[in-house]
Structure 1
Amino acid sequence: MAEEEDYSQLPFPDRFQHKNWKVRKEAYEAAAKAFEVSPDENDPVFEPFNSDSSLWKGAAGDSNVAAQQDGLAALCAYLKYGSVRGAQRSRSHAVQPIYEKGLTSTRPVAKANAFEALLLYVEADKPESVIEELLPALSNKQPKVIAATLNALTQIYHNFGVKIVDPKAVLKVLPKIYGHADKNVRAEGQSLTVELYRWLKEAMKPMFWSDLKPVQQQDLEKLFEKVKEESSPKQERFTRVQQAQMATAHHATTDDTADEEAIPAEAEVEEEPADIDAFDLAEPVDAASKIPDSFNDNIASSKWKDRKDALDELLKILDTPRLKEGPYDDIVRAFAKSMKDANIAVVTVAANCVEKLALGLRKGFSRYRSQIMTPMMERLKEKKQSVADALGAAMDAVFLATSLSDNLPEILAMLTNKNPNVKGETIKFLVRCLRTTRDVPSKEEQKQIAEAGTKLLTESTEQMRAGGAEIMGTLMKIIGERAMGPHLDGLDEIRKTKIKEYFDTAEVRAKEKPKPIAAPKAAAGGKKAAPGAKKAPSKKAAAAPPLDDPAPLQPKPTAKAPPKTAAPAKHGLAQPSNLKLGGLKKTAVSGVSSPRRVISPASIVDEDEPPQPSPSKLGAGRGLTARSLAKPSVMPASPPPAPRDNGISVAERAELEDLRLERERLLSLEQTLRAQNNKLSNQISELQNQNAQLIEDHTRDVLQIKAKETQLVRARGECDILRSEVESIRKDSERYKREVSRLGRQSIGRDRDEMMRGRSQPHYDDSYNNTDVYDENPRYTVSSPRLNGNNSSRPDSAAFQRPGSTTSNGSNRPQALPRSQSNLSGLSSADDHGEKENTNTGDALAQAAMRRKISPPLNTTSAGRSPQRPASDRTGANGEGESWKRAAEVTSQLKARIEAMKARQGLTKATY
């Protein structure tokens, strides 16, 4: 067996492009290990890949899945340990195969490596560039590629947030995702939208919300409800730039020469991020070019309708999240003039236009503020609340575009206005400004606001006094209780209590942070340090936050003498770098002489401390004046115990400040919990009401169901009764049919017997002369030969006629209704009243009688020969045959009537 060729000596580019997938796989593994053990990003192992970045295109999209897995792992190692320059060069080659083959791989490890590679690209490269490379994947023909890319975008925003990765480009393509035919693509689009909502909240909706269907909007609202109450998300992964900044900050915190500066740096890191709104996401729109030329003419019209229509049209143009800066001076002057309009509808629309313009321009609106702010505040005299609300919203928008310092002069001027409506709405506006501002007012502004609030506390109306207390309480929340103390001097306890109530409930964004103790500007400032040794610490120094450094503070008389630390350096003494006096670091400035020492009795013996046995050894802990000048080489063997300043040590002071901060945190937590409790109580009440309503609805539904069941049982009972009646009628009908058939057979048999016995024919005497003989049959009449004018002498040639028909002699004599006809009438009446038995019986009797009467008699001979028909009978055979046909017709009519009666009875049952 031939030995396999060793490819390990080939350079990486050749092995990465080899035809054998096993060689490529081994090359990927070897490259990943080489990247991991490299000392830095400038190692020669990175050079081939930095020179030819297209190697990663084949590695990320290798045709062999096993080799592709190792190729993605090697790419992750390259991005993790390599340089930013290499990541930027390889991005355009590797991102496409990553989302086409890596994200859709069937191997979980390969898919995870693909996700990690994209996150590393965002971490090392510009995030916007990575998003641009991924967006073409959303137009791919394969739905699985689109779904995997959406999932990758969700992971990117989840890890880095919208501050690092701009979401504008993704928000624009979301409507297209929701219109895709594949349900997996739509589901991943929903996940991405929810992740963006966690960061952007309602600010994201203007970008794409109007392009969605109402059903899609409802589904998203349900998903938003689940994350709406969550706290603000935090960034989980950081870019290379952020990592470098954090490393620098970490070194600063561990450096002994920057202990004090580390405290404010950490505070800045923990500061909550600014809110993201639609203005940050939207593209600027040039509204100035869309303003019609007729606006100035219409706004100056004498008809209020024209003025309002012009402002309405302008409002539609300005109603956009972000406006491009332009020449808006003319329309702002028109707004200011409209504030004095006599028609309140014009004033309201003008205020709405000011609001949209200020929100669309933001900082660009600051140059128009002075023209519009005073007219709007003067118009607050309007008593109608809708106008006041529109003006208040416009003023809030102007404040967001400017600052509290810009608007404070107008606010303070309006607080002295004689009109109570103007004063009341201005108070509300000032409170809103204090709550939303992010900048702490300056000392002078604090004084002005406090004085204005104090004056309002003396107003005659309760509303004004409450407004003044709210202003004072909100200001106290910003600057703190201690800084607010001087402004509360002279107020009675009732007013202080009211201010304290507003202080407890106020929610502000800007809070004045305690400033740390600043180090001296120069260690050689001896001329200013000597007088400071005789003065007590100022209030500002006493209010400084505690430091974590356990070094003792100096006694009170020498608290401001740290510059004397330069003296030992002049004498060649080694001063410990971590030795602090008065909570401040000591620094020795080379080339500067030691400051002059001022020795006072108070600096030698502290009345709060017991006498020390060896001042020369403990002098460093008691101040520089306690150190012996004759023996400067003597240094303390160990850090002295912490002396007390007014009975409070450094540790106790630090604990006191910690307790104060903890108290503030607990108060804020209490407020939050109280608000949540109220919210939950309201929800409980609503749920109880809903539960009671549901119980009532359930009871009503149960009663309705029981009523329906009762009706159903009753209907079933009636149905059973009707079925039994129908069955009984059916049996009676069958019985009547059998009876009719039996009677017909008996009649025929009786007539046959009579004929067989040779009964003589009926004789017609002359008594019937000129008289018609009526048969019982209702349809036929028997007439004598004499009456019908027949010359035949035989009596059996009588003609059968219908009742009321014309005789042969032309006479039309009225005839009486025979009995059989009455029976038939009775049959019709019985059909209407359900008297079935009488009807059937009458029909049967009538039919039998008819057959009996119309049957022609037969002649018999005495010799017992067979009866022979008379000649007249033979000659009238046609008439006899016609009679039998008519009899059959009557029988069929009777049967039809019986069937009609059955049908009517069945219809009657159905109506029941």
Structure 2
Amino acid sequence: MADQEEDFSSLPLPDRFVHKNWKVRKEGYEAAAKEFDLAASESDPVVRQFLNDAGIWKGVVSDSNVAAQQEGLGALCSFLQVAGTSGCTRTRNITISTIAEKGLPSTRPAAKQKALEALMLYVELDKPDPVIEELIPILSHKQPKIIAATLDALTQMYHAYGCKTMEPKPVLKALPKVFGHADKNVRAKAQELTVEFYRWLKEAMKPLFWNDLKPVQQQDLDKLFEKVKNEPPPKQERLLRSQQAAKETATAAGGGDNFGEEEEEAAVDLEPEYEAVDVFPSIPKDYGERLASSKWKDRKEALDDVHKALNHPRIAEGPFDDLVRGFAKSMKDANIAVVSTAANCVELLAKGLKKGFAKYRSIIMNPMMERLKEKKQSVTDAIGGALDAVFASTSFQDCLEEILEFLKHKNPQVKLESTRFLIRCLKTTRDAPSPAEVKTISDAATKLLTESQEVQRSAGCEVLGTLWKIMGDRIMNAHLDGLDDIRKNKIKEYYESAEVKAKYKPKPAPTPKAAAPPAGKRSMPGKRPPGGGIKKPAPPPAAAPPPQEEPTAPLAPKPTSRPGASKLAAPKSGLAPPSRLGGLKKPGSGLAAPSATASPRRPVVSPPLEEAAPPPQPKLGLTPGRGLAGRPLGKPQAEPAQPAIAASQAPSGLSLVERAELEELRAEVERLRRQNEEIRAERTKLTSQIHELQNQNAQLIEDHTRDVLSIKAKETQLVRARSDYEAAEQTVQNQRREVDRLKRELSRQVRATSPPPLDVSDQIYTDANGHARFGDSGYGSAGMYGRNRSFATQPTSPSGEGKENMIDGSLSRPGSTLSGKLSPLRAGAGSAKSSLSSRGGGRISPAETAGNTGIGGGQATAGAESWKRAAEVTQNLKQRIEMMKAKQGIGRPQQ
């Protein structure tokens, strides 16, 4: 066994890869993976032998033993890591389909993960298109588990690299087929892949496959889409090797932070690929003649025929100049139906030709924008759609000039629709405008803010808000500073709601080493205009310049290369004035004898000691009409020193780009300071508002407390009033009961007396003044007996029985309680006297004490007295009742 192991370990790795013993193959895979991990590059011998014999990897990834296959997939991953792009391109055509069939559906999770990692590396090392091309046929495999595993691998690959890196269209077109598979696992994996596509592409992916699905499948997918609809946009998790290199380069240049954003902004073209159609055979031959007809129906029919001919997704290139000129002519047609049809034709042609339509833009764009003056909405919509199609075939910079011209149009409708077209262009363009174009657009939009119509002012605000979204704060702050707060707030609203596809990114500044000139050339300002015309050779020794003017010495090589400088540099005799005069002449002027010009002013020149005159003296010597020759000859030597020093010092400091960046940073700092001041003022204002609101709240709380206390006091008063009312009600009831008791007592007293008091009402009558009075005692009086009868009508007997009968009859009415009570009247005078005395309280009138001459007369007199006493008693009782009622406050009862 030991011999066999020695033989196996001594075998070369390729031989061990194809050994019949799976253990030997497994050990060979493990050994190869270790050596690949230790290799420095693809030029290593162990890597080269597997690069040259790439076909060996097919047997590795399809090893019949699952344990050996797992190690073989690991060895392939290690090989791809070190072999790079060359290893990827040489092996992917051999291994990808085998990995999909043997590795992805493996029962071992580790083997399945290594197979997926191998596919990821194939995508990362080169490009994803070949990998997708190899996997698409696997989706038609006869085994469902292989299809499901491939779909799962595609899901994870698109999740890692994103739809902007991996082309989604081939897989999207294959989705309807896998959705119609009989296996439920395949359909489930297809749903997962579709949801992953939706995370990246949203609704834009549906035109490629949605109509081929069943309604039930569409409903199920819509439910799954709702779960991920509000998720944030996904980001690419793994980068290709090319993207990694670009990111490293961007990081080295200082722009590594924005690399991911730039990758995210890459466009995803989901438009289906169509075959270009040649439309010229379908265009009517007499198109031009019919379009020139005087009848609008003929013109419209001609355009309708062209519209049918152009109705193709992709149109082949051709000479469409005459056709487009006809469309431009139709834009001026008086009939709006002709204009709309022509605009629809332009839209179809622009969409069919795509970028090929750019050369016809100058012919058709101006007439269409001029026709935007039409107020009918259907016409402006048709022209707007055509303008959008034309813009999509060109660039923003190509259309901007004409759009800005129409923003100044005298027709308000044209101006408004042109502004809306500009807004649509800003939202759909992928090329951010330059700062110069931003200034032009901002100026035009700012003018719109002063328009009389509100819709035009709003459109101007939307332009600035959309432009702000594209360019950012740093660029737009300079264009928004002069606006008032109301307009800024309106622009801010559009800025927050704008959706754009472009994002301005300033060009990276060159590195300072590349921008700064070499150290040996910093003192040569040959191209600087301020000092270029007065530079001269090194000053001669006789001039004896001051020590501070020595920095002008390095300027000597540059002027000597000029045509006129060679003649002046030749003499070194120490004549300083001629050399200085020569330095004041323009280079190449051809003045070989400067003394002829300077001779009239030689007497002004002082000895060399006067060359050190103070600096203000040359300015005073320069008078109108005397020119530069009037200056002291010693000064031109001192003046070039300053530009030379500035020229020598300027490059040694910041470069131009750094200066510009410094200015931007200073402006940014100033803007931030202003913002901080505004924030502080706003915070102070908000604090004061908070205090005011707190005071108002305290006042409201105090008022509320006062109201609550008042309500409680009212409730207490109401309770007390209710209790007083109940007490008063109880008192009234008691008084009523007392009155009833007194009435009953009175009734008892009346019943106890004789004669009965029933006829009291007959004796009482009412006079004219409403007072109750008693009638006379005469028999014929109507006062006492007038209601029924008088005593005169009754028969009388000498013994007085008739009177008794009359009395009994008059008191025997129904309901009378006093009937039969007058029997004591028949008795003697003594009994009558005692009866009356008992009823009258013991008072006896004089008439009662008088002698009775006869029985009848005495009884009559006694009867009259009895009735008078009864009336008096009744009257006294009534007065007592009234007094009691008055004391107790009880209303007078009805009688």
Query: Structure 1 length as normaliser, TM-score?
Result: 0.53
Contact 2:250 2:259 in 1 (8 A): no
1:285 matched to 2:276? The reply is: yes
1:522 to 496, 517, 526: 517
In 1, are the aligned partners of 2:283 and 2:309 still within 8 Å (CA)? no
Aligned to 2:243: 242
Aligned residue identity for 1:273: E
Q: Secondary structure at the match of 1:82?
A: helix
Q: 2:216 matched to which residue of 1?
A: 215
- Amino acid across the alignment from 1:203: A
The residue type equivalent to 2:122 in the other structure is: Y
Residue in 2 aligned with 1:201?
A: 202
In structure 2, do the counterparts of structure 1 residues 468 and 86 end up closer, same or farther at CA, with 3 Å as the change threshold? closer
Amino acid at match of 2:77: C
Alignment-derived partner of residue 31 in structure 1: 32
Seen in structure 2, the aligned counterparts of structure 1 residues 228 and 14 have a Cα distance that, compared at 3 Å, is same
Q: Secondary structure at the match of 2:162?
A: helix
Higher alpha-carbon deviation: 101-110 or 186-195: 186-195
The superposition leaves residues 856-898 of structure 1 with CA deviations (integer Å, 9 ceiling, x where unpaired) of xxxxxxxxxxxxxxxxxxxxxxxxxxxxxxxxxxxxxxxxxxx
Q: CA deviation at 1:10?
A: 0.8
Cα distance, 1:312 vs structure 2: 5.2
Structure-2 residue corresponding to 1:53 = 54
- Residues 377-396 of structure 1 mapped to structure 2, 5 A cutoff: 377-396=369-388
Q: How far 1:488 moved relative to its partner?
A: 6.7
Are 1:147 and 2:148 an aligned pair? yes
Residues 315 and 231 of structure 1, relative CA distance in 2, 3 Å threshold? farther
Whole-Å Cα distance in 2 between the matches of residues 652 and 414 of structure 1? 36
Q: Is the 8 A contact 2:350 2:357 kept in 1?
A: yes
- Per the TM alignment, residue 170 of structure 1 is displaced from its structure 2 partner at its CA by 1.9
Separation in structure 1 between the aligned mates of residue 40 and residue 476 of structure 2, nearest angstrom = 57
| Cα shift at 1:293 | 4.3
SS in 1 for 2:380: helix
The aligned residue for residue 367 of structure 1 is 359
Q: Deviations over 1:377-420 (max 9, x none)?
A: 12222222122222222212222322333223332333343433
Q: Distance in 2 between matches of 1:510 and 1:136?
A: 37
Tell me: CA distance 1:658–1:361, structure 2 relative to 1, closer, same or farther (3 Å): farther
Residue 414 of structure 1 corresponds to 406
1:401 alignment counterpart: 393
Kept after mapping to 2: 8 A contact 1:102/1:114: yes
- Pair 1:326-2:327 in alignment: no
Q: 1: CA distance between counterparts of 2:404 and 2:2?
A: 98
Deviation at 1:505, TM superposition (A): 5.5
For residue 13 of structure 1, what is the aligned residue in structure 2?
14
Displacement of 1:244: 3.0
Per mean C-alpha deviation after superposition, the further-off stretch among 414-423 and 10-19 is 414-423
Instruction: Give the 5 Å matches for 1:302-341.
Output: 311=303, 315=307, 318=310, 322-341=314-333
> Distance between the aligned counterparts of 1:306 and 1:193, measured in 2?
50
Post-superposition Cα deviations, 1:549-586, rounded to whole Å, max 9, x if no partner, equal xxxxxxxxxxxxxx99x99xxxxxxxxxxxxxxxxxxx
Q: Which amino acid aligns with 2:91?
A: S
Shift of 1:272: 5.5
Contact 2:57 2:95 in 1 (8 A): yes
- C-alpha offsets along residues 91-137 of structure 1, whole Å, 9 cap, x if unaligned? 22212221111111111111111111111111224422222222221
Change (3 A) 1:131 1:494: closer
* Shift, 1:142, TM fit: 0.9
Aligned to 2:775: none
Contact 1:204-1:278 at 8 Å conserved across structures: no
Structure 2 counterparts to residues 751-766 of structure 1, below 5 A: none
CA spacing shift, 1:504–1:17, aligned 2, 3 Å = closer
Per the alignment, residue 70 of structure 2 pairs with 69
State the alpha-carbon separation in 1 of the partners of residues 322 and 94 from structure 2: 53
Q: How does 1:629-708 map to 2 (within 5 A)?
A: 656=669
Residue pair 1:473, 1:506 contacting (<8 A) in 2 also: yes
Alpha-carbon spacing, 1:223–1:71, altered in 2? closer, same or farther (3 Å): same
1:168 CA drift (Å):
2.9
> Residues 436-479 of structure 1, C-alpha deviation per residue, up to 9 Å, x if partnerless?
44444445544543443344344333333443444455455555
- Is the alpha carbon distance of 1:361 and 1:16 closer, same or farther for their aligned partners in structure 2, counting shifts above 3 Å? same
What's the CA shift string for 1:531-558, capped at 9, x where partnerless?
9999xxxxxxxxxxxxxxxxxxxxxxxx
Paired AA for residue 417 in structure 2: E
Give the conservation status (yes or no) of the 8 Å contact 2:372–2:383: yes
Matches within 5 A, 1:231-270: 231-250=232-251, 253=252, 262-264=253-255, 266-267=257-258, 270=261
Q: Is the CA contact (8 Å cut-off) linking 2:265 and 2:501 kept in structure 1?
A: no
Per-residue CA deviations over 1:620-669 (Å, capped at 9, x if unaligned) read: xxxx999xx9xxxxxxxxxxxxxxx9xxx999969949969999xx9xxx
Three-state SS of the structure 2 residue aligned to 1:7 is helix
User: Contact (CA 8 Å) 2:97, 2:134: kept in 1 or not?
Assistant: yes
Q: Tell which deviates more after alignment, 116-125 or 281-290.
A: 281-290
- Compute the displacement of 1:28 (Å): 1.1
Could you tell me how far 1:235 is from its partner in structure 2? 1.8
Q: Is the 8 A contact 1:160 1:237 kept in 2?
A: yes
**Contact 2:164-2:264 at 8 Å conserved across structures:** no
Partners of 1:203 and 1:278 within 8 A in 2: no
**In the alignment, is the contact (CA less than 8 A) between 2:435 and 2:475 conserved in 1?**
no
Preserved contact between residue 336 and residue 376 of structure 1 (Cα < 8 Å): yes
Distance of 1:461 and 1:143 partners within structure 2: 66
Taking the aligned partners of 1:95 and 1:9, their CA distance within structure 2 comes to 31
One-letter amino acid of the structure 1 residue matched with residue 452 of structure 2: S
Decide whether aligned partners of structure 1 residues 97 and 211 sit closer, same or farther in structure 2, where only a CA change above 3 A counts. Answer: same
Which residue number in structure 1 is paired with residue 264 of structure 2? 273
Q: How many Å apart are 1:60 and its aligned residue?
A: 0.7
The one-letter amino acid of 1:153's match is L
CA contact (8 A) 2:172 2:208 kept: yes
Out of 347, 365, 370, which is 1:355 matched to? Answer: 347
Change (3 A) 1:659 1:351: same
Q: CA RMSD in A?
A: 4.4
Q: Give the greater-gyration-radius structure (CA).
A: 2
Structure 1 alignment gaps of length 5 or more: 254-261, 535-562, 568-600, 602-623, 630-644, 667-912
- 2:329 & 2:665 partners in 1: Cα distance? 63
Does the 8 Å contact 2:169/2:270 carry over to 1? no
After TM superposition, list the pairs within 5 Å mapping 1:725-740 onto structure 2: none
Cα distance in 2 between the residues matched to 1:45 and 1:391: 67
Measured at CA, do residues 218 and 241 of structure 1 come closer, stay the same or move farther in structure 2, by a change above 3 Å? same
AA matched with 1:288:
V
**Are the structure 2 counterparts of residues 21 and 290 from structure 1 closer, same or farther at C-alpha, using a change threshold of 3 Å?**
farther
Alignment partner of 1:383: what SS?
coil
Specify the alignment match of 1:230 in structure 2.
231
Aligned length: 552
Is the alpha carbon distance of 1:506 and 1:108 closer, same or farther for their aligned partners in structure 2, counting shifts above 3 Å? closer
| Alpha carbons 1:60, 1:68 under 8 Å: kept | yes
**Rounded Cα–Cα distance in structure 2 between residues aligned with 1:277 and 1:321:** 18
Structure 2 vs 1, CA of residues 484 and 266 (structure 1 numbering), >3 Å: closer, same or farther? closer
Change (3 A) 1:28 1:341: same
CA 1:472–1:89 in structure 2 vs 1: closer, same or farther (change >3 Å)? closer
**207 and 21 in structure 1: CA distance in 2 versus 1, 3 angstrom threshold:** same
Is contact 1:288–1:328 with CA below 8 Å preserved after alignment?
Answer: no
Tell me the CA shift for residue 73 of structure 1.
Answer: 1.2
Which segment is superposed worse, 404-413 or 435-444? 435-444
Secondary structure, counterpart of 2:264 in structure 1: coil
Distance in 1 separating the partners of 2:360 and 2:462? 30
Alignment TM-score, normalising by the size of structure 2:
0.54
- Matched to 2:153, the amino acid is A
